[in-house]
């Protein structure tokens, strides 16, 4: 897909790209950090038969504009949903996208019908496991040095998780992710201003979320990633979780049919 095939929302700080497919109750697919809407290619096709599927590129990612002033993920998504006049939507987020979904449910509950998180919880990321801490620190070092190729190689390690090597992940999965991330990396320069403004007290406010919540875990994912998503499901009243065996940080890419089935089953309960 090229920029010409996407829709664009003219926000107050540049155009934000998104896909808008199908009709019916809205489902918003929120991608992981450094990637873009393309990580949900298998889900868009499966869901659009019975739902309106909206898959945005988060500001600074994919085909969306970079920030030039302070912004919040939740405000951007709320602006898009109001622009589209969709009504309450189901928010499905991977890693960074999970944080966008949860933050939006806290800040704009009237726009959210349900939440699905995978690989993270809120925007207050919690890294405690030594393996995760080392991986995050090395990724940050490579990013700060401008070593895009080194970062992409390290990213492949993150996709695999702590229990496998990158070679044990299907080459097509790695290729799709590398392509999306390389596109986003090319939009940025080392040392540029990070304009993102955090949402405060997200973990303490989680019990305020009163819509259905599902956490989907890859069994081979990083323990901190699983713990954050599980904490959301455990804290929110009525939250529940499902584990997908044999996959890591991207269950939707490594086991798309199983992930889609879990998601569609959840949607049918709403």
Q: What is the pLDDT of residues 101-129, one digit of tens each?
A: 999 999 999 999 999 999 999 999 999 99
| Strands 112-118 and 213-218, bridge-based pairing | parallel
Look at residue 5 and tell me whether its pLDDT is greater than 90: no
Q: How many whole angstroms separate alpha carbon 38 and alpha carbon 36?
A: 5
Q: Which residues pair with 242 in a beta bridge?
A: 216
Side-chain half-sphere CA neighbours of 141 within 13 A: 7
Look at residue 4 and tell me whether its pLDDT is greater than 70: no
Place of tokens 């898959």: 55
Look at residue 2 and tell me whether its pLDDT is greater than 80: no
The domains found in the chain, sorted by start residue, are 3-127+197-268 (3.40.50.1820)
The model carries a pTM of: 0.97
Q: Which residues pair with 168 in a beta bridge?
A: none
CA 126 from centroid of its chain's CA atoms: 16
82-95, pLDDT tens digit by residue?
Answer: 999 998 999 999 99
145-185, pLDDT tens digit by residue?
Answer: 999 999 999 999 999 999 999 999 999 999 999 999 999 99
**Residue 39 near residue 89, CB atoms below 8 Å:** no
Share of the chain above pLDDT 70, in %: 99
Q: How many whole angstroms separate alpha carbon 93 and alpha carbon 165?
A: 25
Residue 63 vs residues 70, 107, 118, 149, 264: alpha-carbon distances, Å: 19, 25, 23, 20, 28
Report the pLDDT value the prediction gives residue 108, as an integer from 0 to 100. Answer: 98
For the chain, the average pLDDT equals 96
Q: Which residues pair with 112 in a beta bridge?
A: 89
Residue 3: pLDDT band (50, 70, 90) is: low
194-225, pLDDT tens digit by residue?
Answer: 999 999 999 999 999 999 999 999 999 999 99
Q: Which residues pair with 90 in a beta bridge?
A: 27, 114
Nearest to 217 by CA among 233, 206, 204: 233
225-236, pLDDT tens digit by residue?
Answer: 999 999 999 999
136 phi and psi angles, rounded to 5 deg: -65, -45
Q: How many whole angstroms separate alpha carbon 86 and alpha carbon 25?
A: 8
Q: How many whole angstroms separate alpha carbon 235 and alpha carbon 215?
A: 11
**Residue 77 near residue 195, CB atoms below 8 Å:** no
Look at residue 141 and tell me whether its pLDDT is greater than 80: yes
């Amino acid at each position: 897909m090229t920029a010409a095939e996407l829709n664009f929302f003219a926000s107050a700080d540049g155009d934000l790209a998104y896909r808008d497919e199908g009709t019916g109750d809205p489902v918003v697919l929120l991608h992981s950090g450094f990637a873009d809407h393309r990580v949900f290619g298998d889900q868009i096709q499966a869901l659009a038969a019975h739902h309106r599927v909206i898959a945005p590129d988060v500001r600074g990612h994919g085909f969306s504009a970079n920030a030039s002033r302070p912004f919040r993920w939740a405000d951007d998504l709320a602006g898009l949903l109001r622009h589209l006049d969709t009504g309450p939507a189901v928010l499905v987020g991977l890693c960074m996208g999970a944080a966008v979904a949860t933050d939006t449910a806290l800040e704009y509950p009237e726009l959210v019908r349900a939440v699905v998180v995978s690989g993270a919880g809120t925007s207050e990321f919690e890294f405690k496991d030594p393996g995760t801490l080392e991986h995050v620190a090395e990724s940050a070092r490579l990013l700060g040095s401008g070593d895009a190729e080194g970062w992409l190689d390290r990213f492949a390690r993150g996709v695999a998780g702590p229990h496998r090597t990158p070679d044990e992940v299907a080459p097509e999965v790695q290729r799709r992710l590398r392509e999306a991330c390389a596109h986003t990396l090319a939009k940025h320069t080392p040392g540029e201003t990070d304009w993102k403004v955090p949402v405060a007290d997200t973990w303490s406010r989680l019990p305020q979320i009163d819509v259905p919540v599902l956490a989907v875990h890859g069994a081979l994912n990083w323990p901190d990633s699983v713990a954050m998503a599980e904490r959301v499901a455990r804290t929110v009243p009525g939250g529940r979780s499902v584990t997908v065996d044999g996959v890591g940080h991207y269950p939707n890419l490594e086991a798309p049919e199983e992930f889609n089935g879990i998601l569609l089953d959840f949607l049918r309960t709403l």
